[in-house]
Structure 1
Amino acid sequence: MTTIGFIGLGIMGAPMAKHLVDAGHQVHGFDLSADATAALAAGGGKAAGSIAEAVNGADLVITMLPADPHVETAVLGEDGVLAHAKTGSLLIDMSTVSPQTSQAVAEAGKARGVRVLDAPVSGGQAGAVEGVLSIMVGGDESDFRAAAPVFDAFGKTVVHVGPHGAGQVVKAANQLLVGGIIALNAEALVLMEASGVDPRLGLEVLNGGLAGSTVLTRKMDNFVNRSYDPGFRIDLHHKDMGIAQNAARGAEVALPLTAAVAQLVAAARAQGLGDRDHSALLAVIEGFNNRKET
């Protein structure tokens, strides 16, 4: 059993923390939502009233937060994780942030005697609930091996991809792929419907061939039913596409399709769909074609 401080009990963090509880770890969770911490306590964890309370005495700390500013405040802030983490403990930031933020956290952790991994995830809310997330990890190999039992609680594919920040680069690549695949599936659906083809039947047969994907499997009902309840919000994908574009600029590579997908995501956000699931890119494609939901 490991004592774990878990910061961020949102739609991803809550099921991940619960898997850790179920695996036998002592989990002290903190979130700005009292309901979220109460739910963790009801499931066998412990509700913490502050970051300090969650972190004090923890062997390992996990942060699962929306964006760079949240990580900077919660980890690097005056009353943040590193101000209270014990020497020799391991901090795993599983948020999706820029590689530069992950590297800054690692440097700050090193100065305080805290080991750090960046370990963003892919799989969405469903993957978190089912405990089958893909986890891309940056940092030292020895720290990766030490964290293996924790990753095993909610991950299916767990890979050490390189030094600090490398996990975030791979996550940026993941997000540009997911966004592009969603957009192309949306265009395929619009084409089939405009041609009189039943969209579910069309998508099902496409998903059985080379065009098939986990994205289509997860999002088919969203597409067909125009059901955009968030599993992963447009606002967050917009943030992630910015990370991908900045990473491309830093690596001095041209990614024209990534830029196009980023504009589609930005259009969805501009149209008031920021709090909807990223499958709502379908609504943007339909808008281009003056086609109403059916």
Structure 2
Amino acid sequence: MTRIAFIGLGIMGLPMAKNLISAGHDVVGFNRSRGAVDALVEAGGTGAASIAEAVAGADIVATMVPDSADVEAVVGGSEGVFAHAQKGAVWIDFSSIRPDVSARLAEAAAEAGLRALDAPVSGGEAGAIEGVLSIMIGGDEAVVEEVRPVLEAVGKTIVRVGPAGSGQTVKAANQLIVAGTIELVAEALVFLEAYGVDTTSAVEVLAGGLAGNRILDRKAASMIKREFEPGFRIDLHHKDMGIVTSAAREAGVHIPLGALTAQLMGAARQKGYGSLDHSGLLLLVEELSGRASKA
């Protein structure tokens, strides 16, 4: 049994923490809203009233919060992880943040006596619930192997991709691909509907050919029904597209389709769709096409 402090029990964090409990680990959770902590306790975990209480005696500290500033707030300061976690503990940041911030925080963690891994995930809420997330990891290979049993409780594809910050770079590429694919699937569905095609049948045959992809598999059915209960919100994907466009600019890499998709994601957010699942981009495509939503 490993004692794990899990900070950030949102759409992704709570099911991940529950899977760690199911795997036999001692999980102490902290979240700003008490309801998520209560849900963890009901699943067999322990609730903490503060970060300091959560990380006391923990072998591993896991964080899963929305953005770079949130991670900095959680780990820094007199009440943060770095000030209270025991020396030698492993800090695994499952959040999706800027690669440069991740690399800088890894250095700060080392100064505090912690060993840091940036380990952003892909797979959405369904992947978190099923424990089959794809985890892209930056950090020391020996540390990755040490905590692999813990990672295997929440993920299926677990790959170290390089030194500190590398996991976040790969996650940015992941979000670039996912956003672009969602936009193209949305355009295809609106196009098919305009011609009166049975979209469910169309998706079945498209998914079996070269156009097949995970978005068709996991999202198309709900997109057709105009059901956009968030597994991953447009607000968060908008944030991630800001990360990838900024990182690409710093590297001198041109991503014309990615930049356009980032603008579309931002437009959907401005339209008031930010709290919807990122597949809600379909609503923007409908508006741009002058077609009334079926929602």
TM-score (ref. length: structure 2): 0.98
- Corresponding position: 1:283 with 2:283: yes
Counterpart Cα distance in 2 of 1:91 and 1:135: 15
In structure 2, distance between residues paired with 1:223 and 1:46: 37
Supply the AA of the counterpart residue of 1:101: V
What is the SS of the residue equivalent to 2:211?
coil
Per the alignment, residue 13 of structure 2 pairs with: 13
C-alpha distance in 2, partners of 1:204/1:282? 19
1:125-164 matches, within 5 Å, as: 125-164=125-164
Deviation for aligned residue 1:234: 0.3
User: Is 2:50 aligned against 1:50?
Assistant: yes
How many equivalent pairs are there? 294
Counterpart in the other structure of 2:90: 90
2:185–2:220 CA contact under 8 A, matched in 1 = no
CA contact (8 A) 2:207 2:216 kept: yes
* Cα shift at 1:77: 2.6
Given that 1:238 and 1:265 are in contact with CA atoms closer than 8 Å, whether structure 2 keeps it comes out as yes
Cα distance in 1 for residues equivalent to 2:136 and 2:167: 5
Moved more, 213-222 or 237-246: 213-222
Tell me, in whole angstroms, the C-alpha distance in 1 between the residues paired with 2:221 and 2:186: 12
Cα deviations by residue, 1:226-257 (Å, 9 ceiling, x for unpaired): 11111100000000000001110121111101
Residue 134 of structure 1: SS of its match in structure 2?
Answer: strand
Cα displacement (A) at 1:105: 1.1
Deviations 1:93-132 (A, max 9, x none): 0000000111111011111110000000000000000000
Matched ranges for 1:1-294 at <5 A = 1-294=1-294
2:10 and 2:110 mapped to 1: Cα distance? 28
1:168 partner amino acid: Q
Structure 1: gaps (5+ residues): none
Q: Supply the distance in 1 between the matched residues of 2:41 and 2:261 (Cα, whole angstroms).
A: 40
CA apart distance, 1:156: 0.6
Per the alignment, in what secondary structure is the counterpart of residue 96 of structure 2? Answer: coil
CA contact (8 A) 1:97 1:243 kept: yes
Query: Retained in 1: the 8 A contact 2:185–2:215?
Result: no
> How many Å separate the matches in 2 of 1:78 and 1:164?
24
Q: Which ranges in structure 2 are unaligned for 5 or more consecutive residues?
A: none
| Residue identity opposite 2:137 in structure 1 | V
Say which is worse superposed, 2-11 or 219-228, in terms of deviation: 219-228
Counterpart-to-counterpart distance in 2, 1:290 and 1:94: 40
2-structure distance, mates of 1:77, 1:103 = 18
Offset of 1:78 from its aligned partner?
2.4
CA distance in 2, matches of 1:156, 1:254: 32
Instruction: Provide TM-score, normalisation by structure 1.
Output: 0.99
- Deviation digits for residues 142-169 of structure 1, max 9, x if unmatched? 1111110111001010000000000000
> Alpha-carbon deviation of 1:22?
0.7
The one-letter code sitting in structure 1 at the alignment partner of 2:78 is E
Matched letter for residue 258 of structure 2: T
- Which one-letter code corresponds to 2:28 in the other structure? H
Moved more, 123-132 or 194-203: 194-203
User: CA–CA distance in 1 between the matches of 2:177 and 2:77?
Assistant: 33
Letter in 1 for 2:287: G
